[in-house]
Amino acid sequence: MVYHGIGVSCGVAVGPLYCYEPFMPEPLCAEHSEDISGQTALYQSAKRAAREELARVCEHLDEDKASIFQAHMEILDDEVIDEEILAGIKGEQWTAQWAVEQVYENCRAVLGSVPDALIREREADLFDVKLRLLRILQGMPERGLCCLEQSVIVAAKELLPSDTATMDKANVLGIVTEMGGATSHSAILAKSWGIPAVLGVANLMQIARCGEMAVLDAEAGTLETQPTPEQLAVAKAARGAWQKQMKEATAWIDKEPLTKDGVRIDLGLNIGGAADEELAAARYAGFVGLLRTEFLYMNANHFPTEDEQVEQYKKVLRTFDSRPVVLRTLDIGGDKTLRYFRAPREDNPLLGSRALRLCFENPEIFLTQLRAALRAAVHGNLWLMFPMASSIEDVCRAKTFVETARSQLAQKGVQAGRVKIGAMIEVPSLALMAPELTREVDFASIGTNDLCQYLTAADRMNPAVAPYHQNWHPALFRLVGMAAQAFEQAGKPLCVCGELGGDDRAVPILVGLGLRRLSMNASRLAPVKQALASMTLAQMQSLAERVLKCVSEAEVRAVLCDEAGKGGYEDV
Ligand code: PEP
Ligand code: MG
């Protein structure tokens, strides 16, 4: 059977499906048992099994990520919790399950009401440990993503950034989900890892069978289950061809980023943190165009302290030396959540208190990050960038926070470095104010993922509206062109750091529109260098002019096909 979704990234995966369904117990009711020693033994053995699982998980993770699970072991060993559970089993004749439920929930309620944010953060850990114990008590196997036993295609309803943060990537052949669109965060991560992914497959979790062989084709956007031996052979050949093509493209990785007539385009790297694997491509890029700092927060089990952040930022800055590192301030909200922070409940979170707005509402979180960034700036060339600004006032307000953070450091006699200040252009209202924006910032970067989402009013995560979320909408190129003109006139740098900036087919249009800086995932550097070398600047400019006259996305695609026919593109 062949099922259709949205193909993101590229390539073909062949392997068994692994259905990732995070355990969520049915609501429990009070349960009693007179078999006190039996229930005590059940609880003790569940605790032992939980500890063994956690130890196994830690073995597969680096130190930072393992610390999350080490904290869970500490909770398992907490004497007060342990005594209360045993007292409940003995005194109240609770079953082991009910005792775990009651005691952990009571602890969470107590922690949830404590004013100290650091203590409150432990609430999410308690919830995780409780679920682990209940799952074991109900005899259910672990279905995590952090230590997979074999190479698999992961099938899930939805993969949240917090799921992917601890995912055992070496064993993931492909990703297929029910939710999510081409620029959702799962898609961005899949692309940056070079893993084939198909998102938005309707009813996937009813279709997918754990262990069943499947073929995932990210180009065609299909999942094929129960393939025949012939289909399997074809898929394996396609996978081999794709792997060969990837290898060939990598020949471009250490080339200069020049158009056919030698115009230099600065290429930057989008990274999610300071881990060595993130920084591995540093020598092939001219700068970091997007340091998504939210991953530092999402990988932790508490808000990273100022010192912890300084260490991470410093590592990136030192790696890039005098080359700019664009540090985007915390961008959470929408599908990016923190397990230890309860964001306000909203009907439309993507239109709500996200990113900069959330930082304005939580000044201490924002100021801690800004102080860390300013301290780290002493060690390199740091450019600070605000996400989701929707007005000039937002940008000015964010700048006052930077000044507050600077004076807080000065009061303590702590050295702060010089930084450039910029904004992400990802809300149409700010894009339209680009000429005025140039007066308030040193630079800007266009986030085409969100810009497209807000411009077309189509949720980037929702497959049902994927046909409306048009990445190639002429309106998007017109806005990008307007912003490029404003920044060129002001003589200030403008970059594109959304997915479009790493799309080798879109790159000639962006350069033709006036962009001279593009930032992308490491896996896109080689294909983009190859695409740049395939056309002259004049050819790219005439292509951009044609695109600006288009009335629909279909027409933009037709223009690209026409260009491909002339040999400007390999294929579209
Ligand atoms: C964007 O919106 O284009 C962007 C780069 O930010 P993110 O994808 O992290 O929202
Ligand atoms: Mg964005």
Segment 478-529, tens digit of pLDDT: 999 999 999 999 999 999 999 999 999 999 999 999 999 999 999 899 999 9
Report how far residue 328's alpha carbon sits from residue 425's, in angstroms, rounded to the nearest whole number. Answer: 12
State the distance from the centre of ligand 1 to the C-alpha of 498, rounded, in angstroms.
Answer: 5
For the record, the structure tokens of 271 come out as 């990274």
CB 550 within 8 A of CB 481: no
Out of 7-11, 157-161, 208-212, 497-501, which region has the weakest mean confidence (pLDDT)? Answer: 157-161
- Burial of 96 (C-beta count, 10 Å sphere; 0-12/13-18/19+): buried
Q: What's the pLDDT band for 64 if we cut at 50, 70, 90?
A: low
Average pLDDT, the chain: 91
Mean pLDDT to the nearest integer, 19-42:
88
Residue nearest to atom 9 of ligand 1 (CA): 292
Within a 10 A sphere around the Cβ of 149, how many other Cβ atoms?
Answer: 8
CA of 284 to the centre of ligand 1 (A): 22
Question: Whose C-alpha lies nearest to ligand 1, atom 1?
Answer: 447
Of 424, 454, 524, which is best to mutate to test ligand 1, by the most ligand atoms within 8 angstroms of its C-beta?
A: 424
**Of 261-270, 347-356, 489-498, where does mean pLDDT reach its minimum?**
347-356
Whether 332 shows a pLDDT value over 50: the answer reads yes
pLDDT exceeds 60 at position 370: yes
Task: Classify residue 496 as exposed, middle or buried by CB count within 10 Å of its CB (0-12, 13-18, 19+).
Answer: buried
Query: Is 70 exceeded by the pLDDT of residue 262?
Result: yes
Mean pLDDT, residues 310-320 taken together: 97
Report the CATH fold assignment for 2-21+144-249. Answer: Glucose Oxidase; domain 1 (3.50.30)
Nearest to 309 by CA among 293, 320, 324: 293
**What pLDDT was estimated at residue 247?**
81
The listed range with the strongest mean pLDDT (28-37, 248-257, 318-327) is 318-327
Nearest-CA residue for ligand 1 atom 8 is: 449
Look at residue 181 in the predicted model and tell me its pLDDT.
Answer: 72
Which run of H or E residues covers position 470? none
Q: In this predicted structure, what is the pLDDT of residue 63?
A: 73
Could you tell me the pLDDT band of residue 571, with boundaries at 50, 70 and 90? very low
Task: Return the pLDDT at 451.
Answer: 97
State the DSSP string of 244-278: HHHHHHGGGTTS--B-TT--B-EEEEEESSS-HHH
Rounded distance between C-alpha atoms, residue 337 and residue 356, angstroms: 14
Neighbours of ion ligand 2 (CB under 5 A): 426, 447, 450
Q: How far is the CA of 127 from the centre of ligand 2 (A)?
A: 29
Domain ranges of the chain: 2-21+144-249, 36-137, 251-565
Tokens of 197: 């992914």
- Selection from 60-74, 75-89, 554-568 with the highest mean pLDDT: 75-89
90 Cα to the center of ligand 1, angstroms: 53
Q: Which of 226-235, 337-346, 422-431 has the lowest mean pLDDT?
A: 337-346
Q: Which CATH superfamily does the domain covering 251-565 fall into?
A: Phosphoenolpyruvate-binding domains (3.20.20.60)
d(CA 498, ligand 2 centre) in Å: 7
> 136 with 50: CB under 8 angstroms?
yes
Highest-scoring range by mean pLDDT, 98-112, 153-167, 333-347, 389-403:
389-403
Name every residue whose Cβ is closer than 8 Å to that of residue 364 and which is 6 or more positions away in sequence.
none
Q: Which residue minimizes the CA distance to atom 6 of ligand 1?
A: 447
User: Which residue's alpha carbon is at the smallest distance from atom 4 of ligand 1?
Assistant: 447
What was the pLDDT predicted at 56? 84
pLDDT for residue 27 is more than 70:
yes
What's residue 256's pLDDT? 96
- Tokens representing 440 are 């308030």
Give the Å distances, CA to CA, from 320 to 97, 249, 534. Answer: 52, 24, 28
Which ligand number lies closest to the CA of residue 446? 1
- The residue whose CA has the least distance to atom 3 of ligand 1 is 447
Testing ligand 1's pocket by substitution, the residue of 288, 331, 356, 500 carrying the most ligand atoms inside 8 A of its CB is 331
Q: Contact, 544 vs 481, CB < 8 A?
A: yes
| C-alpha dihedral sign at 429, 430, 431, 436 | positive
Contact 328, 290 (CB under 8 A): yes
Contact residues of ligand 1, CB 6 A cut-off: 188, 290, 292, 331, 426, 447-450, 497-498
- Asked if the model's pLDDT at residue 147 lies above 90, the reply is no
State the amino acid at position 478 in one-letter form: R
| Ligand whose nearest atom lies closest to the CA of 183 | 1
Say whether 7 sits in a helix, a strand or coil: strand
Q: Any idea which residue has 């409150």 for tokens?
A: 120
pLDDT band at 570 (very low <50, low <70, confident <90, very high): very low
Handedness of CA 385, 386, 389, 393 (dihedral sign): negative
CA of 421 to the centre of ligand 1 (A): 18
Q: 288 and 267 in contact (C-beta within 8 Å)?
A: no
Tokens of 356: 């900069």
Number of the ligand 1 atom closest to the C-alpha atom of 497: 5
C-beta of residue 224 within 8 angstroms of C-beta of residue 5? no
Tell me which residues are annotated as active site: 185, 497
The candidate with the shortest Cα–Cα distance to 330, out of 341, 344, 320, is: 341
Lowest mean pLDDT among 16-30, 35-49, 391-405: 16-30
Please tell me the predicted confidence (pLDDT) of residue 231: 93
pLDDT at 199 over 80: yes
Q: Does the domain made of 36-137 have the CATH classification 3.40.50.620?
A: no
Mean pLDDT of 1-13: 88
Q: Which residues contact 378 (CB under 8 A, 6 or more apart)?
A: 415, 416, 417
Q: How many other CB atoms are found less than 10 A from the CB of residue 28?
A: 15
Q: What dihedral do alpha carbons 482, 567, 9, 557 form, nearest 10°?
A: 50
